[in-house]
Structure 1
Amino acid sequence: MKSLFSILIITIYSSVLYGQTSLVWEYKLSQGVYSSPVIDNNVLFIGSNDSSFYALDKSNGQLLWKYRTKGELKSQPLVYKESVIFNSTDGFIYSVNKKTGQLIWRFATEGEKRKDIWDYYLSSPTLSEDKLFIGSGDGHLYTLNPNNGELIWKHKTGGIIHANPLVYQHKVFIGSFDGFFYALNVENGELIWKFKTIGDEYFPNGEIQKGATIYKNSIIFGSRDYNIYSLNIETGRGMWNRKEKGSWVVAEPLIVDDIVYFGTSDSHRFCGLNASNGYDKYSLPLNMRVYGKAIFYDGDIYFGCFNGKLYKFNIGDEELSQVFQTHGSENNYFNVYNKKDEFVDGFNLYDDNYKEAEEKILSLGAILSTPIVDNQVIYFGDSNGYIYAYKLKELE
């Protein structure tokens, strides 16, 4: 387990080493970007809280086209054949031509909902077996024909679904804000099994906010009841659970070499657990929450943090370092933190002024977006509306 002091030294060294000199391009929007990018050939697709969906040239950030909806776009889009499909808080799921941005179809749900100010995402579309799966704030998991948007089936849960569906072995897996995790038949949406989270004194429903990950014969996900769970994929019975005291586990887990990696909410750390039994492998302290999924690239793990910093965890030497700092974090960091990387006096995340505190955190250019790497360049958005393309290594 690394000490906070050692990580701070590494962070300072890494910041000097990288600087901000490897920025390939940036693109500024009027509102935040919580959406995660996807790349198709030379085009980067990403949504924004400004209600528009963007297609950018991945090499220089030039706008190719944009499509405007009437709601925020806060999930990862899906490229399907000649289309790109995405979700909006206006209650519609859209398919547009990936080259022109012209509408192909749109599907009306029963309307979106938001649980609270920390419910930052929408469900991302998933494609499998020629079907499109996507959750909605109306509590349904929808299965659509990706060619025309026609409904194939839908399954109603008791809460908001903003988690990403996962399809494996002819089952679709999804968590809901009702505190249940569901396994459904891909063909007709019939329930195969469901699992109820434990709940907690303060969060008795045990809401499941984001997606899950497959590991061998198990499926792993986090909950607002402070637990991360591993279930038997065939039966839905618990295999293990690990309680993160005082902290939601929102981030979708990443598994590399039998270790499950995820960031936490209020305990402000990045964790590595043994995927077979949930035992601790790594516990790396941070000074703010992590909601986005970590990614694995070229032997390293990358993830963004609400403090506006992009981090790298080197698995080989077990070192955590800062790779990049957003403009908002550079400019506003000391409005929230002192020189010891601790909250300044008088700052409290969850007192009566919690909304104001959250705005200050978002002003740091918080990274809620899950990064994507293409040809040694990492792409992601921030809460101040920047989309960044940052070179990780010298391009060959």
Structure 2
Amino acid sequence: MKKLLIPISLICLIFGINCCTSEKQEGWPTYRHDAARSAITTGTLASRLYLRWIYKPAHAPQPAWYQPSEELPRMQDDNAYFVTAADGIAYFGCSVDNKVYALDILEGEEKWTFFTQGPVRFAPTIYKGNIYFGSDDGYVYCLKAKNGKLIWKFRAGPNEKKLLGNERMISLWPVRTSVLVDNGIVYFGAGIFPYEGLYICALDAGDGDIIWKNDTMGDRLYELKYSGISPHGYLIASDSILYVPSGRSMPAAFSKTNGKFLYYLTPQGKSGGTWGLVSDNTLIAGVERNGIPVKTSYDKTGETEGDVFASFGGSDMVITPNIACVLTGKGIYAIDRIKYLAIKEKLE
């Protein structure tokens, strides 16, 4: 597994840095660019790209979970070192040596590193000169982006209790989601064992003070199908809703205003995964049906919007106002959204 993951991590670094260097002002501040995970930017690439440098991490990524033996892998969030970048510095977290790395974009040299007490599985988020990330040690960290100085850290769990988990010593309430920052508010989830307590939190980005904290989800298993949620993956946000991926299950929706649980997405059969994005305030989430990954869309009430959005197989998607691009095992398909909707209206 590790030999396969090494080139994946290098490719992500090389292409991630190339994209960011072309965007002098906007940068790439979070995973897939923004809270909606659109993977779209208003910046433009240079007409000719070239390889400037390669940074080879000392360790291949060590994902929390092994690949399934019979089903398609639905948890791809920590199998590579995803990169964010702004103001001439690129950042990534390491799931092996528990560090966050800051690299000079022009030279590829390390500017600083920061140790935590557990694996850092998700790319840091950059916001107003600071970076934000979580660790399996149970803490969310806020550092000064230019030098790695600790500004504040926050623990969602009630104490420092640790256990052996995924072949590492981790908190009983590890931060297994990304840290999402939107309009000055930090969102994240902690805990993976429902009976031990799950926490969905919102903090002030400046000082780490609690805005709200939902600690009720671990007690609601009887209400939810397939054993409820276990926060794991990159958080996604629309204008008013925070979507919390739940590993191999479907995401759960919470109010961004007060943390109130809204609904839990439960299509029929085995379905779910950590992939997702929001387009036009509609969540599009990855599912698996009969061994084929597809996408299903939901409106803000949690109801399925008509049929499966993409009935063809697809492992990734990017949606612009006019075109939807879908990655499959056979290639990339571009769908004209305007013509598609016009044809759909005629058929209906």
Higher strand proportion = 1
Task: Tell me by how many angstroms 1:87 deviates.
Answer: 0.8
Q: Secondary structure of the equivalent of 1:290?
A: coil
| Paired amino acid for 1:110 | Q
What do the CA deviations read for 1:279-311 (whole angstroms, capped 9, x no partner)? 7798643543322233327x9754334645242
Give the direction of change, closer, same or farther, for the CA distance of 1:175–1:263 in structure 2 (3 Å limit). Answer: closer
Q: 1:108-164 CA distances to partner (integer Å, 9 max, x unpaired)?
A: 222328xxxxxxxx2331222321111111222111111122222222443311222
The answer to whether the 8 Å contact 2:250/2:265 transfers is no
Match of 1:67 among 55, 63, 67: 55
Look up the SS of the partner of 1:392 in the other structure: strand
Q: Hey, what does 1:288 align to over in structure 2? A: 271
Going from structure 1 to structure 2, the CA distance change for 1:65 and 1:286 (only over 3 Å counts) comes to farther
* TM-score using structure 1 length: 0.49
1:78 to 78, 84, 104: 84
Equivalent positions of 1:384-395 (< 5 A) are 390-393=332-335
Give yes or no for contact 1:270–1:285 (8 Å, CA) kept in 2. Answer: no
Q: Which position in structure 1 is the counterpart of 2:5?
A: 31
**Cα distance change of structure 1 residues 66 and 391 upon mapping to structure 2, 3 Å threshold:** farther
Q: Work out whether residues 5 and 61 of structure 2, in 8 Å CA contact, stay in contact via their aligned partners in 1.
A: no
Q: Which residue of 1 aligns with 2:38?
A: none
The residue aligned with 2:124 is 125
| Higher relative contact order (CA closer than 8 Å, sequence separation 6+) | 1
**Structure 1 counterpart of 2:208:** 189
Superposition pairs for residues 95-244 of structure 1, below 5 Å?
95-112=102-119, 122-158=121-157, 159-168=173-182, 170-177=184-191, 179-191=198-210, 194-200=213-219, 226=221, 243-244=224-225
Change (3 A) 1:285 1:255: farther
Q: Structure 1 residues 77 and 244 mapped into 2: Cα distance closer, same or farther (>3 Å)?
A: farther
Query: Unpaired runs of 5+ in structure 1?
Result: 1-28, 48-56, 114-121, 201-224, 228-241, 327-366
Distance 1:275 1:184 in 2: 11
CA gap 1:134/1:147 in 2 versus in 1, 3 angstroms = same
Q: Is the CA contact 1:274–1:280 (under 8 Å) kept in the aligned structure 2? A: no
Inter-CA distance 124–253: structure 2 relative to 1 (3 Å threshold): closer
How far, CA to CA, are the matches of 1:197 and 1:167 in structure 2?
Answer: 22
Matching residue of 1:40: 20
Residue pair 1:376, 1:391 contacting (<8 A) in 2 also:
no
Question: 2:295 matched to which residue of 1?
Answer: 311
> What CA distance in whole angstroms lies between the structure 2 residues aligned with 1:184 and 1:255?
15
Query: % of aligned pairs identical?
Result: 17
Amino acid at match of 2:4: S
Question: What one-letter code is carried by the residue in structure 1 that aligns with 2:174?
Answer: I
Cα distance in 1 for residues equivalent to 2:253 and 2:214? 24
Whole-Å separation in 2 of the counterparts to 1:253 and 1:111: 20
1:320 to 308, 316, 320: 308
| Residue identity matched to 2:61 | E
TM-score (norm 2): 0.54
Asked whether the 8 Å contact 2:122–2:234 carries over to 1, the reply is no
Give unpaired runs (5+ residues) of structure 2.
32-44, 63-77, 158-172, 192-196, 338-348
Displacement of 1:168 in angstroms is 4.7
C-alpha separation between the residues in 2 aligned to 1:91 and 1:281? 32
Asked whether the equivalents of residues 91 and 123 of structure 2 are also in contact (C-alpha less than 8 Å), the reply is no
The change in CA–CA distance for 1:265 and 1:106 in structure 2 (over 3 A counts) is closer
Single out whichever of 87-96 and 284-293 deviates more from structure 2: 284-293
